[in-house]
Amino acid sequence: NKKVVLRRYVTGYPTAEDMEVVATPGIPLRAPRGSTAAVVVKNLYLSCDPWMRGRMTRHDDGDAVPADDFVLGEALVNYTVGEVVDSTHPEFSAGDLVWGMSAWEEYTLVTKTEGLFKINHPELPLSYYTGVLGMTGLTAYAGLFEVGKPKGGESVFVSAAAGAVGQVVGQLAKIAGCYVVGSAGSDEKVNILKNEMGFDDAFNYKEEKDLNAALRQCLPGGIDIYFDNVGGTTLDAALLHMKVGGRVVICGMISQYNLPEHEGVHNLFCLIPKRIRMEGFAVMDYFHLYARFEKEMAGFIKEGNMSVIEDVVQGIEKAPDALIGLFSGRNVGKQLVAIA
C-alpha cells in the first residue's frame, strides 16, 4: 500500500523532501468486523489543498487555533475521491463511489465515516469531486452566498482567482449577476479567467507594481465584495477600494502560510468609515448545505454555466511536488493527483 507520509515537521516553505512516498506491506481490503463501522476506500484521486501546509507544522498545545497536525510517518489525512472496497457501515457498500476525508495512500481504512460522502453524479468526471463538486466548490458557494451575500449588479473581486476556490467564486458571482474581477499570478491564468471563465476583467498581480492602480483601473466604482484567498498586500489594497457597506470574505491567506510571522494589515481602519463587514469562515461549518450545493453545481456544469480547470498529475510519487506547487502558483486550476 503506497502512501505519502510526512518525514519531518516544516518551518517556512515546504519542499518535496519533507514528504516521502513509502510502500507498506499488506493492503487493508477488509474492514474489521467490530463495533465501529468502517469503510475501506480505494483512492482514485488525491486532492491537494493549501490547508495541508498548516498541518505540516507542529503546534503547541497552547496555540489559539486547534491543531490537526499530521503524524510523522503516517499517510497525510486529506480529501480524496475513491471507490468502496469493503464496508461494515450500513450506508456504504462495495462499489460505491465516494469522496471525502480519507488519506494520501492507495487504500485507506476510514473509521470517521461522517466525513465520507456518496457521489451522486457519476455521469460527471469523478475528479470534479476533489474540486468543483467537493470541498473547494462548497467553500466557494458557502463563502460567496452565505457570507458575501451578493446582489445583482454588485462588483466582486476575488484573489487566487484561477485556483480551485477562486474559479468557482468568480463564476458563481457571474451567475448571481455581479461584475467580477480576478487577480492571478500569470498571464496564462489571466487569459483563462477572461476568456474561459467569463470574468469581466482580471490582472496579473505579479506584474503589477501598484496593486492600487490595478484595482482602480479594473474597479473604478469600488468593490462590494472582496473574496480573499491570499491575505497580505492584496487584502490591504482591496480594503482601500471597498465601497461603503462592502463585505470582505476571509477565506484564506495563502501568502502568509509559509512566513515566520504574518504581515500586518495596515488598512483595517477602512472598516469603520466604510462600515465594512469582514468575516472569516470555515467550510466545515457549511457541510449541511452540501446536498443543495451538489444539486445546483451539477446543474450549472451540465448547463454549461460552470467551466472547470483542473491540473492533474499522474501517480502517487508526484503528490509531494503537486502539493508544494500550490505555494508557488505552479498549478493552473484545481490541483489533484490521479493514482489509480
Minimum CB distance to ligand NDP, residue 229 (Å): 4
Note the residues at the interface with ligand NDP (CB under 6 A).
Answer: 49-51, 136, 139, 160, 162-166, 184-186, 189, 229-230, 251-255, 281-283, 326-327, 329, 331, 334-335
Burial 151-169 (b: 16+ CB within 10 A, else e): eeebbbbbbbbbbbbbbbb
| Nearer to ligand NDP (CB atom), residue 51 or residue 145 | 51
| Nearer to ligand NDP (CB atom), residue 4 or residue 324 | 324
H helices of 120-186, in order, are 135-142, 164-175
Minimum CB distance to ligand NDP, residue 284 (Å): 7
For the record, the C-alpha cell of 327 comes out as 505555494
| Nearer to ligand NDP (CB atom), residue 38 or residue 81 | 81
Burial 119-129 (b: 16+ CB within 10 A, else e): bebeebbbbbb
Q: Could you give the CA distance from residue 34 to residue 78 in angstroms, rounded to a whole number?
A: 25
Answer for the pair 9, 72: CB distance below 8 angstroms, yes or no: yes
DSSP classification of residue 293: H
Minimum CB distance to ligand NDP, residue 88 (Å): 31
| Nearer to ligand NDP (CB atom), residue 43 or residue 234 | 234
| Nearer to ligand NDP (CB atom), residue 145 or residue 327 | 327
Minimum CB distance to ligand NDP, residue 299 (Å): 22
Answer for the pair 34, 22: CB distance below 8 angstroms, yes or no: no
> How many helical (H) and strand (E) elements, i.e. helices and strands, does the chain have?
8, 15
Q: Which residue sits closest to ligand NDP, CB atoms considered?
A: 163
Minimum CB distance to ligand NDP, residue 166 (Å): 5
Minimum CB distance to ligand NDP, residue 300 (Å): 18
H helices of the chain, in order, are 51-54, 135-142, 164-175, 187-195, 211-218, 232-241, 290-302, 319-325
| Nearer to ligand NDP (CB atom), residue 87 or residue 139 | 139
